[in-house]
């Protein structure tokens, strides 16, 4: 009851948080969660786009349940994230209590609940709970804990099922069979040999879940170029960054400030990484020694490093050098150490120390959740903490633009443009905000810059074409609409605009093809019908023109110009 109440209290204000960042593609724009049947569709999330749900069908299924409940309203997603975190805290408590009691630890239930409480309310967990797309981390954490919990209770079927489901949730679950073997050796069997003699069949069954993980990983490939060599980061550079990251997470566990949503690029040279590497290697050596001489302490060290190992070893792209959600489950090792240290240090009323610490941590979590209340507040905090992170400024600019605060957006886009000179989306969105503030000359320059970076940027061609059309530069608009159609022949808006410009330039025969395509593909395309009517008038095809203007008036009976054109077409028959 204490754990559930504490989790509910510190995350009650998280329900105000909207969809942010990866939530857009993984939830709001994810077509595979729109219905729960057929199940094969739900269990086949989009691939090749770098989405959080790629290769993680169980997470996609959970989002589909949420979509069935509340669509694209965020409250039910927050409720499920909160429930997952609370269940993970309860499972951690159960696992710790049984393990400590088997060692005859004094006050085992109090130690267990103290460690689980510190873990549950720690502000480092907000990224895995309040940030909806990171359900991948918290759900995987719950299932890994359940794998160990059910193994401890000798309920092998449920342990195997939890492990298999975890493999379908996130790749970090790869460590679960190893942790079970180590847990058995440390806390149950007493040695690897005894564990193998007693549970070899179960070990093999758990290892077989790696086949499911391999199938899912191979299906996801390089996750849209976001992992491995396709991410554009060398393993050496990534390893140097992770040497600092592992210790940075531990520092945040002790003093969780500042918390940062997006660290951005964080490359460091060997000279800077050397002290971190020395400390990391010393800690790893100490963990290895403890596994030999003090197995329980060694298990905690292995827990911390092993769960971090997959994300600290596989290149995760230029945007994810550090990510606070990665510490979600590893943090448990540190809170267990903290609870045991309190018990041995503070005498009979030692439990007051973790209660006070949990109160302070819970207050910090409540405060951190206020940063997630809007995209503006979250990215404003991120940009303040990491002023050289161009993506933070870019995302803040987008948040301002979506809120209609285009003057503020322009400031952020201009900063992002200096920090990310090779990102065409930055000048493109800058141009959009300049258009919104009626600054067409500057907007034209911004769209042109985007196209210099990426000449195949269809959206930039389209928006620049619209801008030139408004400025009555018909030849320029024609060039850019043609470029869009060449890049994507199914773009109906570009086809429609291209046809309209050709009509205005006196090329109705060339316009008909594009306008017919646009009109036939849309049931309410009155603009395409109107343009097609004008083209037919110029070609002298008055019956066809009348038919098109009649179609316009069925859709827009208030359009006086269409009524006038219809009169002209009928009178010319």
DSSP, residue by residue, 508-567: HHHHHHHHHHHHHH-TT-HHHHHHHHHHHHHHT-HHHHHHHHHHHHHH-TT-HHHHHHHH
Q: How far is CA 453 from CA 208, 225, 319, 417, 519, in A?
A: 47, 20, 20, 12, 33
- pLDDT for res 120: 98
Q: How does DSSP classify residue 328?
A: T
Cβ atoms 327, 316 nearer than 8 A:
no
Q: What is the tens place of the pLDDT at every residue in 327-343?
A: 999 999 999 999 999 99
Cβ atoms 22, 319 nearer than 8 A:
no
Q: Which region, left, alpha or beta, applies to residue 405 given φ > 0 means left and ψ of -120 to 50 means alpha? A: beta
Give per-residue burial for 312-351: e unless 16+ CB within 10 Å, then b.
beebbbbbbbbbbbbbbbbbbbbbbbbbbebbeeeeeebb
Cβ atoms 163, 173 nearer than 8 A:
yes
Listed as own residue / partner, the contacts of 483-486 with beta carbons closer than 8 Å and 24 or more positions apart are 483/458, 484/458, 485/514
Q: How far is CA 54 from CA 66, 169, 219, 361, 405, in A?
A: 18, 10, 9, 33, 34
CATH 1.25.40.10 location in the chain: 375-434, 455-573
320 forms beta bridges with 264
The CATH code that applies to domain 375-434 is 1.25.40.10
The CATH code that applies to domain 455-573 is 1.25.40.10
Two structure tokens written together for 504: 């205005």
488 vs 462: CA distance, rounded Å: 11
282 vs 278: CA distance, rounded Å: 6
With 0-12 CB in 10 A as exposed, 13-18 as middle and 19+ as buried, what is 545? Answer: buried
276 vs 285: CA distance, rounded Å: 14
Q: How far is CA 489 from CA 23, 468, 486, 498, in A?
A: 29, 21, 6, 12
371 vs 377: CA distance, rounded Å: 5
- pLDDT for res 104: 86
Two structure tokens written together for 187: 């806390």
- Taking 3-state DSSP, the helix, strand and coil percentages for the chain, each rounded to the nearest 5, stand at 75, 0, 25
With 0-12 CB in 10 A as exposed, 13-18 as middle and 19+ as buried, what is 205? Answer: middle
328 vs 477: CA distance, rounded Å: 52
Could you say which residues of the chain have pLDDT below 50?
none
Q: Which residues contact 216 (CB under 8 A, 6 or more apart)?
A: 55, 56, 57, 167, 168
3-state secondary structure of 107: coil
- pLDDT for res 317: 52
pTM value?
0.91
CA 47 from chain centre, in angstroms, equals: 14
- pLDDT for res 266: 78
Q: How does DSSP classify residue 349?
A: G
Two structure tokens written together for 497: 């605009």
């Amino acid at each position: 009851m204490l754990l559930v109440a504490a989790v509910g209290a510190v995350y009650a204000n998280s329900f105000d948080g909207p969809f942010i960042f990866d939530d857009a593609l993984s939830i709001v724009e994810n077509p595979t969660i729109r219905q729960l049947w057929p199940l094969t569709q739900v269990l086949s999330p989009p691939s090749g786009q770098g989405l959080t749900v790629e290769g993680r069908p169980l997470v996609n299924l959970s989002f589909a349940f949420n979509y069935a409940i509340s669509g694209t309203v965020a409250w039910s997603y927050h409720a499920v994230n909160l429930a997952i975190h609370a269940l993970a805290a309860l499972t951690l408590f159960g696992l710790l209590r049984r393990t400590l009691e088997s060692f005859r630890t004094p006050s085992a239930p109090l130690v267990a609940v103290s460690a689980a409480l510190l873990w549950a309310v720690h502000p480092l967990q907000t990224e895995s709970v309040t940030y909806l797309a990171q359900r991948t981390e918290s759900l995987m954490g719950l299932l890994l804990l359940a794998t160990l919990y059910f193994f401890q209770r000798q309920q092998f079927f449920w342990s195997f099922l939890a492990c298999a489901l975890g493999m379908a949730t996130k790749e970090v679950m790869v460590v679960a069979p190893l942790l079970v073997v180590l847990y058995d050796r440390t806390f149950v069997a007493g040695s690897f040999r005894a564990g193998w003699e007693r549970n070899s069949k179960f070990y093999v069954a758990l290892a077989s879940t790696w086949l499911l993980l391999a199938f899912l990983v191979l299906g996801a490939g390089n996750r849209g170029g976001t992992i491995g060599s396709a991410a554009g980061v060398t393993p050496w550079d990534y390893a140097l960054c992770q040497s600092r990251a592992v210790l940075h997470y531990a520092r945040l566990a002790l003093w969780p400030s500042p918390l940062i949503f997006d660290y951005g690029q964080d490359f460091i040279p060997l000279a800077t990484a050397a002290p971190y590497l020395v400390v990391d290697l010393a800690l790893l050596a100490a963990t290895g020694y403890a596994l030999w001489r003090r197995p329980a302490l060694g298990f905690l060290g292995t827990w911390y490093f092993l769960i971090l190992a997959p994300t600290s070893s596989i290149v995760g792209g230029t945007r994810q050098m550090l990510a606070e959600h990665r510490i979600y489950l590893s943090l448990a090792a540190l809170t267990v150490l903290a609870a045991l240290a309190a018990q041995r240090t503070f005498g009979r009323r030692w439990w007051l120390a973790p209660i006070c610490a949990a109160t302070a941590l819970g207050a910090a979590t409540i405060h951190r959740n206020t940063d997630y209340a809007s995209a503006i507040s979250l990215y404003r905090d991120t940009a303040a903490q990491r002023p050289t992170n161009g993506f933070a400024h870019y995302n803040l600019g987008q948040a301002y633009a979506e809120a209609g605060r285009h003057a503020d957006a322009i400031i952020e886009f201009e900063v992002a443009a200096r920090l990310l000179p090779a990102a065409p989306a930055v000048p493109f969105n800058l141009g959009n905000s300049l258009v919104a503030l009626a600054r067409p000359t500057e907007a034209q320059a911004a769209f042109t810059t985007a196209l210099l970076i990426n000449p195949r940027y269809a959206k930039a061609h389209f928006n620049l074409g619209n801008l030139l059309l408004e400025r009555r530069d018909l030849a320029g608009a024609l060039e850019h609409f043609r470029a869009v159609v060449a890049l994507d022949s199914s773009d109906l808006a570009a086809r429609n605009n291209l046809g309209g410009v050709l009509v205005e330039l006196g090329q109705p025969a060339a316009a008909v093809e594009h306008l017919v395509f646009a009109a036939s593909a849309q049931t309410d395309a009155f603009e395409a019908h109107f343009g097609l009517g004008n083209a037919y008038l110029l070609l002298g095809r008055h019956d066809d023109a009348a038919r098109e203007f009649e179609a316009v008036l069925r859709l827009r009976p208030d359009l006086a110009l269409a009524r006038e054109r219809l009169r002209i077409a009928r009178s010319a028959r």
